[in-house]
Amino acid sequence: MIISRFNELKEFQTPEGIMKPLFVSEELKVIHLKIPAGLTVHPHSHPNPGTIILLKGSVRLNAEDPVLLREGDVAHIPADYTVGLESEIEAEALLVSSPSGYRNIEELYKRLEGFQK
């Protein structure tokens, strides 16, 4: 069993908001994401599928068919699917990916540290 303590984990400022990796293994990645008001993330894709669970606020996912996600909504985004994001108000989400694309949390930390420079 692996236990992650939310208040003891590192967070990173990224172009997609403030990311706090909660758990990372080859099979699964879980990230807490704080999305500031006014953030625009241009359409892009990721090599692995991902699920967004919106915990607070609302965000617009800009894809072929744009959609407004509200608190409690869940969106699954297939691998290599192009989508952007806009937030008029502050929001929070959990991002879940399987497979994760990383071997462990330290490998993801190294990637996220690149945004700090």
Residues of the chain falling short of pLDDT 70: 117
| Entry field: residues in the chain | 117
pLDDT in the model for residue 115: 84
**3-state percent helix, strand, coil for the chain, nearest multiple of 5:** 15, 50, 40
Asked if residue 6 belongs to a domain, the reply is no
Q: What was the pLDDT predicted at 81?
A: 95
Domain that holds residue 45: 11-116
Residue 1, pLDDT score: 85
**How many domains are contained in the chain?**
1
Whether 104 is covered by a domain: the verdict is yes
